[in-house]
Chains A and B, each alone.
Chain A
Amino acid sequence: MTAMTLQSISSSDIASVRQSHPQAFGSTFSTITRWAIWLSVIFYVIGSLYYFEVYRLLDASGRALNLIAAFFIWEDMGEWQYRQIYIGIAQTLGMAFLGTLLGTLMALFIGFFAARTTMPFVVVRQIVRRILDILRGVDQLVWGLVFVRAVGLGPLAGVLAIAVSDTGTLSKLYSEALENVDRKQVEGIRSTGAGPLKIARYGYLPQVLPIFISQSLYFFESSTRSATILGLVGAGGIGMIIIERFRANLFDQVAFVVLNVLVCIFVIDWLSKKIRARLIGETSH
Chain B
Amino acid sequence: MLAIKNLTKSFKTRNAVDNISLDIPDGQMVGVIGRSGAGKSTLLRMINRLAEPTGGSIIFDGRDVTALKGRELLEWRANCAMVFQQFNLVGRLNVLTNVLTGRLYHHGLIASMFQVFTPAERAFAIRALDRLGMAHTALQQADTLSGGQMQRVAIARALAQEPKIVLADEPIASLDPMNAKVVMDALRTINREDGIAVICNLHTLDTARNYCDRVIGLFEGRVVFDGPPSALTEQAAREIYGAEADEAFSESMTSTTLKPAGTEVPAERLTEADLQQRARAELLAG
Contacts and interface: CB of A to CB of B under 8 A. Distances in A.
Interface of A: 182, 184-185, 187-195, 197-198, 201-203, 206-207, 209-210, 282-285
A193 B86 CA distance: 19
User: Which 8 residue pairs spanning A and B have beta carbons closest together?
Assistant: A188-B88, A193-B78, A193-B105, A193-B77, A191-B82, A194-B104, A206-B92, A193-B74
Given A193-B75, A197-B113, A184 B93 contact: no
Interface string B39-50: 000000000101
Given A191-B81, A194-B74, A195-B74, A207 B105 contact: no
Contacts of B75: 193
Interface in B148-202: 154, 157, 161
B73 to A, nearest CB: 8
Contacts of A197: 109, 112-113
B29 interface: no
27 contacts: A184-B84, A187-B84, A188-B90, A188-B101, A189-B104, A190-B77, A191-B50, A191-B77, A191-B88, A192-B81, A192-B102, A192-B161, A193-B75, A193-B76, A194-B104, A195-B74, A197-B112, A198-B112, A201-B113, A202-B90, A202-B104, A202-B112, A206-B92, A209-B92, A282-B141, A284-B141, A285-B144
Nearest to A202: B101
Contacts of A198: 104, 107, 109, 112
Nearest to A194: B104
B129 interface: no
A276 B38 CA distance: 46
A194 B112 CA distance: 10
B143 interface: yes
A202 B102 CA distance: 11
A201 B144 contact: no
B89 interface: yes
Contact of A282 (B78, B92, B101): B92
Contacts of B37: none
Interface of B: 48, 50, 71, 74-79, 81-82, 84, 86-93, 97, 101-102, 104-105, 107, 109, 112-113, 115, 141, 143-144, 154, 157, 161
Contacts of A182: 91
Contacts, number: 96
Given A182-B91, A193-B77, A201-B112, A187 B141 contact: no
B202 to A, nearest CB: 19
A283 B81 contact: no
B109 A188 contact: no
A197 B88 CA distance: 18
A192 B101 contact: yes
Contacts of A209: 92
* Chain A residues touching B, majority SS: helix
Given A188-B84, A189-B90, A191-B81, 16 more contacts: A185-B89, A187-B50, A188-B88, A188-B101, A191-B50, A192-B77, A192-B102, A194-B104, A195-B71, A197-B112, A198-B109, A201-B115, A202-B93, A207-B91, A283-B92, A283-B143
A182 B87 CA distance: 12
Contacts of A195: 71, 74, 105, 109
B90 A203 contact: yes
Given A192-B104, A193-B161, A185 B74 contact: no
Given A191-B50, A193-B161, A284-B144, A184 B88 contact: yes
B54 to A, nearest CB: 19
A188 B143 CA distance: 14
Nearest to B79: A193
B266 to A, nearest CB: 31
A152 B3 CA distance: 69
Contacts of B92: 206-207, 209-210, 282-283
Contacts of B71: 195
Nearest to A285: B143
A195 B115 CA distance: 15
A194 B50 contact: no
A120 to B, nearest CB: 14
